[in-house]
Amino acid sequence: MKSLRYEKMNGRSIRIHRIPAAIVAILVICLLIYLCNTDEEQQPAMYGMLRNQNKVNMRKLLIGSIQAAQRGGLEILSVARTRNLKERSKGKTDEGANDPFTDADARSHCVMKHGLQRIFPRIQIFSEEDKEQCNEANTFDLDPTVLHETAKIPDELINISDVTVWIDPLDATQEFTEQLYEYVTTMVCVAVRGKPVIGVIHSPFIGQTAWAWIDRSMSEYLATIIAGEHDTSNPIITVSRSHAGDVKDLVRAVFGEKSNILTAAGAGYKVLQVASNNATAYLHSTKIKKWDICAGDAILRALGGTMTTLDNKLIDYGRGESPVNARGLLATVVQHDQYIEKLMTYRENQKTKQR
């Protein structure tokens, strides 16, 4: 074995074997890199440490998003079981309806937001209940078994600064307080450079999670419902039960007196009605918050569908944007062009009349 000879101060020499020394040095470097590499990526040490430190693995973010929605759902179920919702009001919506808030909203928010933020500390997350203080929030660790066994999910790294996450800890709170539980959902959406890419809509009382990662994979539940044909001969428009008056008039004016209207609650629930062909379009004519619609936007896109404002613009979910979409909503799986054209023509005519 080759060795190096060093002269020590006192004149005696020691031998250091080159190969064992190199092994020790490599091990020390590995350990240092491993210790430094504590960001959310947890990439194999050594490999691409510097290159990946500003990236997030979308597969992990998908798994975390599904878990967050399901954990939020568990909090909601547990508050519902106690029947002690501690309901209070956040004020009035723009339509003048009461905007309620319960312990279920708070507990779901805390586990969803803080659970995700703990695993992905540098990602920008917006939640409907960001004002809420979370003292001892439950958390969770990533559990890939939330994906079905046949799901093929690639590891894909995306710049963290391009990612925004939108959380709705409890959609349809009003209906939750009325025990109309089927409408209640929890939602998580991941947008990349403002475009919705991953959507999760979890229905805790039905025990169903619909999720999609556009062009990559989707939940078994969504995969089975898209297998059905989309019947377009008979328009069925789903609208909100809480401010149905105006929007029902709009539907009849635009699509005819005999239009079929499905009144329902919760933007998440309504998107699922469109996804599953129980409705052919979802129409909303007033302001709506982005955490209400981002996950549905991603899921509909994954099914080949479209969600736009009433002036046919895509909605931007980037970090610099306002959390409010003030320009209404039309969501479909097929024939978006035909619906939007009728709507825009009608609105154009209304404007001309007013002049």
DSSP H helical ranges for 158-206: 173-177
Contact call for residue 263 and ligand NAG (CB under 6 A)? no
In the bound state with ligand NAG, the residue whose beta carbon lies nearer, of 201 and 247, is 201
- In the complex, what is the shortest distance from the CB of residue 278 to ligand NAG, in angstroms, rounded to a whole number? 4
Nearer to ligand NAG (CB atom), residue 63 or residue 272? 272
Question: What are the b/e assignments for 282-311, b being 16+ CB within 10 Å?
Answer: bbbbbebbbbbbbbbbbbbbbbebbbbbbe
159 lies in the binding site for ligand NAG (CB under 6 A):
yes
Closest contact distance (angstroms) between CB of 192 and ligand NAG is 9
* Interactions with ligand NAG, residue window 46-75 (CB under 6 A): none
* CB 65, min distance to ligand NAG, A: 20
Q: Which residues contact 134 (CB under 8 A, 6 or more apart)?
A: 106, 109, 110, 113, 114
Nearer to ligand NAG by Cβ, of 134 and 158: the residue is 158
Classify residue 344 as exposed, middle or buried by CB count within 10 Å of its CB (0-12, 13-18, 19+).
Answer: middle
Query: Least Å distance between CB 159 and ligand NAG?
Result: 4
Spatial contact of 36 and 25, defined as CB atoms under 8 Å apart: no
Binding-site member from 80, 272, 274, 283 for ligand NAG (CB under 6 A): 272
Cβ closest to ligand NAG, residue 170 vs residue 272: 272
Q: Between 64 and 296, whose beta carbon lies closer to ligand NAG?
A: 296
Which residues ranging from 276 to 295 are in contact with ligand NAG (CB under 6 A)? 276, 278
Q: How far is the CB of 162 from ligand NAG (least distance, A)?
A: 6
Please state the closest distance from residue 47 (CB atom) to ligand NAG, in A: 18
**Exposure pattern of 141-174 as b/e (b: 16+ CB <10 Å)?**
eeeeebbeeebeeeebbbebebbbbbbbbbbbbb
List contacts with ligand NAG (CB under 6 A). Answer: 159, 272-273, 276, 278
